[in-house]
Amino acid sequence: MYFYGVNIGGFTSQADLTEKHLNTFITEKDIIDIKKMGFNIVRLPVDYFLFESDDKPYVYNEKRMKYVDNVIDWTGKHGITVILDLHKAPGHSFAFKERDKNDIWDKKSNSRKRFLKIWEYFAQRYLKVPHIMYEPLNEPVAPKDSQWISLAKDAVKAIRKHDKKHWIVVESNLWGQIATFKKMKKFSDNKIIYSFHFYEPLLITHQLAEWVSFYKFNLYRRNVEYPGRPENVGNLKEEVKKKDDSFASFLEKQDIYWDKSEIEKLIYEAVKFQKKYKVPVLCGEFGCIAKGSPQTRKNWTNDVIQIFKKYRISYTYWNYKNMDFGIVDYTKKYRDSPNYANKERKDYNVLKALQDGIL
């Protein structure tokens, strides 16, 4: 089992979900283009409020679900596997500030009940779709790893009430960090794909990203080249910890010279799990922000892809279109970016690196 592809984030998640946006942002043409690029899988992030209102829990809007159905139909038509990823769930968000309100970890909460019902609904709805996989929750941020594992097991159980055949993708805790992958548990279900997200080192992949804590609090605002060593890191982790305790874990050991060998040391945590249990492993998200230089984006992506290829780690790059990491980008924000300095607004460096991972 080896998949290589992209996320189509910013469509049914992390977006202003207006009819205009939903009718135009991703169409069948995009799926055809993804197929032409050589990819065999897409990850489709979906926010629950696309189809369910907090005012009317357990009522699913069929009109809005057609946008999810469309992608599933198009991918099937063009021979692409699709991962249905619940990106934001009732009672759970991975975003700064929002995550302080998460109550999905409470086994008696209504949020948890709604979450599990959504997965029963999906499992029944897509039971006969041959090319789908399920990802119960994107980037869990449980206070304890055991809380996430407990919820994940409940989600698997909910899906298996109706669907015994489809693969289920389970991430590691705390944004899918590779650092928490070592605490991943092997499930008794034999159709689980174990997943992580990879944005290491964050000072390179998220340089000048306005939503991360070290930028938000004006603690580190620098361009950083890769391979290379971030300058003047100092006690950044400790300073971030004062502002955003859980996020500070991303800043462990940043002050080194980063190259392919250092990246491989981190990814090998997933490889050890893969070899020990003889299970498939997926990197569900990875990327280097378009605020980085073209050479940095190219070098970083190429190194990561070659490591994935070496160990047969499947991957879905973040992101196909826009969202600060896109292979293509049509936003005003990156209008003058040298990464998209062509009429197609396509980063050919990143695309070529991703295609080099195809076996």
Active-site amino acid positions = 139, 285
DSSP class per residue in 151-212:
HHHHHHHHHHTT-SSS-EEEEPHHHH-GGGGGG----SSSSEEEEEEE--SHHHHTTT-TTS
For the record, the structure tokens of 358 come out as 């195809």
What is the distance between the alpha carbons of residues 50 and 17, in angstroms, rounded to a whole number? 7
What is the distance between the alpha carbons of residues 100 and 122, in angstroms, rounded to a whole number? 27
Note whether 288 and 325 are within 8 A (CB). Answer: yes
Residue 128: exposed, middle, or buried by beta-carbon count in 10 A (0-12, 13-18, 19+)? exposed
Long-range (24+ apart) CB contacts under 8 A made by 305-309 are: 305/353, 305/354, 305/356, 305/357, 306/260, 306/356, 306/357, 307/260, 307/263, 307/264, 307/267, 308/267, 308/283, 308/357, 309/356, 309/357, 309/359
The neighbour count for residue 23, using CB atoms within 10 Å, is: 11
**Beta strands 56-60 and 52-53, pairing class:** antiparallel
For residue 243, give the nearest of 212, 204, 203 by alpha carbon. Answer: 212
In DSSP terms, 88 is beta-bridged to 47
Q: 235-249 burial, b if ≥16 CB within 10 A, otherwise e?
A: ebbebbbeebeebbe
Considering only the C-alpha atoms of the chain, give the largest distance between any 2 of them, rounded to a whole number of Å. 55
What is the distance between the alpha carbons of residues 74 and 145, in angstroms, rounded to a whole number? 36
